[in-house]
Structure 1
């Protein structure tokens, strides 16, 4: 193992670090949450990662998204992020897919090829489809609930989807799953916050919600931590919670 993981090995041990290097992760959505999750995973040793996002960097992304700078505006997010990840870990396998996960593209992804699926997308319909699809696969699903309109990082938590409280996005998803009569096939963990603030300013972007890096980043880091801790527990022979 390379020296860039020396501090990781000191904390996790060789076995867990090797397992982390072999873990395969796909992250859907690399915006304010997903971009930081991906960075944390690669810096922690994950060497097989697929990133999926259909968007290009725009000026409003600069306040919270890892790869968004004045020089990257207009470029595909996944391509900018891939280049950064390979600069961090040249031996990593980074599959950057400049596309959306939707009903039209779902068959392009075999989620059984991965150990973990990270859901950090915003579209209700696409998010529901991804959750259902991932819950039918052998991969472990981790999902981000709404990270906008929040300021207090101490309110960020992790729990099982049906136990999430105080999150409008989780509530909407549960209502839709029940209304459609097609609930996810198994339980899965979510990162969420029960804080909800009104938007204080004005925006030219229709339906835009205010959001800030110190919240979206912690959402992303917390998603990454779930994978890292799972692998660490497995290396020690412990059950996941």
Structure 2
């Protein structure tokens, strides 16, 4: 397999063997917003060859402050379609499976998670997030990485990675634990996540967008409240989430050589 010249700087650092492994790695990404869109871009720019994008939402004005594919020209279009177009301009050879859909227990089988090496959770709707995590952890061959709450964060220096069971001070992680306890208990299998204990409060007025006729199943419309965000924090969550995949691929590749 010949390494594309697009990845010459990456191949210089990682080596041809790991680049070939990245090209054959299959990743399923759920949620393509302020975290997921940057995660997707980082994965494609680093050489991941197969990526499924799942999101039901369309680009809204409030997305422009933090989502990689959100511009004045893409307003009203499905996020996954616009993001896929952007990713193909970066690497025309990347294999994309684009799903404008909501993950939920009733449709879980349609995503065929068992066919992927990694499942990435960048969903911020609690019920769907909990269902996805539980499903992914039930598949031994799948490695799950998840993002906790990126809203109301300002300092990228406080972003950490760690085991879900040891996360402290993250509101979404706390709500997720409560959800798990009410729906069968916290999964026995732990997983790595991206999180921050930074605590901030909203200072401005809430201007939540409502679901439209073209966008009735928006994940965001299910939120109890809408919190403020800044791109340099949400993007960093996404970049760190992508790094977990790359670093895990590297560890597995190095073990295969020993």
TM-score (normalised: structure 1): 0.96
Conservation of the 8 A alpha-carbon contact between 2:127 and 2:179: no
- Point out the more displaced range, 100-109 or 140-149: 100-109
The equivalent residue for 1:211 is 229
Between the aligned partners of 1:218 and 1:49, the Cα distance in structure 2 is 20
1:167-206 equivalent positions in 2, closer than 5 A? 167-205=170-208
The equivalent residue for 2:142 is 139
The equivalent residue for 2:110 is 108
Conservation of the 8 A alpha-carbon contact between 2:170 and 2:196: yes
CA shift for structure 1 position 167: 0.3
Match of 1:63 among 62, 65, 85: 65
1:33-112 equivalent positions in 2, closer than 5 A? 33-112=35-114
Between the aligned partners of 2:248 and 2:255, the Cα distance in structure 1 is 10
Question: In the alignment, does 2:4 pair up with 1:15?
Answer: no
Between the aligned partners of 1:32 and 1:229, the Cα distance in structure 2 is 22
Conservation of the 8 A alpha-carbon contact between 1:132 and 1:185: no
RMSD: 1.4
Between the aligned partners of 2:252 and 2:143, the Cα distance in structure 1 is 14
In structure 2, list runs of 5 or more residues that go unmatched.
Answer: 210-224
Secondary structure (helix, strand or coil) at the match of 1:236 reads helix
Secondary structure (helix, strand or coil) at the match of 1:104 reads helix
Q: How many residues align?
A: 239
